[in-house]
Amino acid sequence: MKVFSTIADFREARSQIKDRVGFVPTMGYLHEGHLALVRWARGDCDAVAVSIFVNPTQFGPNDDFARYPRDADRDLGLLAKEGVDLVFMPRGEEMYPPGFSSWVEVGRLTERLEGAFRPAHFRGVATVVTKLFNIVQPTRAYFGQKDAQQAAVIKRMVRDLNMNLDIVVVPTGREGDGLAISSRNIYLDSEERRAALCLWNSLRRAEDLWSKGERDAETIRQKMISFIQQEPKAKIDYVSIADPETLEELIEVKPPALILLAVWIGKTRLIDALLLGGNLSESAL
């Protein structure tokens, strides 16, 4: 495994690979969810590239950029074990040198849900992912279904801007009890860890209602909200039942429908998502 911190060195190594390159962009502090993406890439492609970069431009002034967990040595050990070929681990100034002033805006898709609570978040994501795609030149790039809006935004960006690669959305990796694996789970104390299960349990409740024939989105949404509100440590940012392609709220739940939620557990903000019917990879395009 070769590890690079400059764009020039990474490009030089990338230029030696003529076959299909699978790319997994991450912010590091790797866990089984990230490794599932790496394994998917390994299975599909001839070589795998991973980036580790805590991208400052996708964090707001009150977000957790400074305290976001980092452990480069551990990350590199995990990636070496997975047989990753290239790792790109730039410093902030390498990606955003003085005078940087160009941004990628994806439009309406980015204004709702996460975008409403984290202004400029998706501008930062779309910009850094565009830069990484230009540097890595992947054949395919892999994103997690947990960050369902992000996956939809990236797919839209790739389509709108004719970027020459495929986007693959990988199912959410979960702990044994269903909690979506996330680097931010480390912030939870044991009581909050228990409380955090309300996200997954509310999604399961919604799926159960839907499978029993409930089709009114507002009824399902309200039942999810009441369920989460029974947990005193939880504070809801949003619960949404949306069209997976447009992310517009649905009135009638016709599959495929995407349920997305963001909930604070104490001082930690968690998100999760579940697709009712269909396959996210196919339906978000």
Return the active site residues. Answer: 34
- 51, 130, 149, 183: which one binds ligand AMP (CB under 6 A): 183
- Which residue in 35, 36, 41, 50 binds ligand AMP (CB under 6 A)? 36
Pick 34 or 121: Cβ nearer ligand AMP: 34
> Six-digit token pair at 246?
């447009």
Partners of 168 in the β-ladder: 142
185 binds ligand AMP (CB under 6 A): no
Q: Which of 188, 189, 208, 182 is nearest to 274 (CA)?
A: 208
Structural tokens at position 210: 């839907």
Smallest distance, Å, CB 145 to ligand AMP?
6
* Helix spans in the chain (H): 7-14, 32-44, 72-81, 92-95, 114-117, 121-136, 148-160, 190-195, 197-211, 217-229, 280-283
Query: How far apart are CB 254 and ligand AMP at their closest, in Å?
Result: 25
- The reply to whether 180 sits near ligand AMP by the rule CB under 6 A is yes
Among 3, 27, 224, 273, binds ligand AMP (CB under 6 A): 27
Window 136-155: residues binding ligand AMP (CB under 6 A)? 143-144, 146-147
| Contact with ligand AMP (CB under 6 A) among 89, 136, 167, 170 | 170
Q: Please give the residues from 241 up to 270 whose contact with ligand AMP meets the rule CB under 6 A.
A: none
CB closer to ligand AMP, 143 vs 210: 143
Q: Are 185 and 159 in contact (CB under 8 A)?
A: no
Helix (H, G, I), strand (E, B) or coil at 278: coil
Is-contact 145 182, C-beta < 8 A? no
Residue nearest to ligand AMP (CB): 144
Question: Residue 75, interface with ligand AMP (CB under 6 A)?
Answer: no
**What φ, ψ does residue 254 adopt, rounded to 5°?**
-105, 125
Binding ligand AMP (rule: CB under 6 A), the pick from 182, 268, 281, 283 is 182
Which among 33, 34, 2 has a CA at the least distance from the CA of 17?
A: 2
90 near ligand AMP, rule: CB under 6 A: no
- Token duo for residue 223: 């039942």
Cβ nearer to ligand AMP, comparing 143 with 227: 143
Among 26, 110, 127, 240, binds ligand AMP (CB under 6 A): 26
Angle at 93 between CA 88 and CA 94, to 5 degrees: 35
**Residue 276: is it exposed, middle or buried by C-beta count within 10 angstroms (0-12/13-18/19+)?**
buried
**What's 20's DSSP letter?**
-
Site residues, ligand AMP (CB under 6 A):
26-27, 33-34, 36-37, 143-144, 146-147, 170, 172-173, 180-183
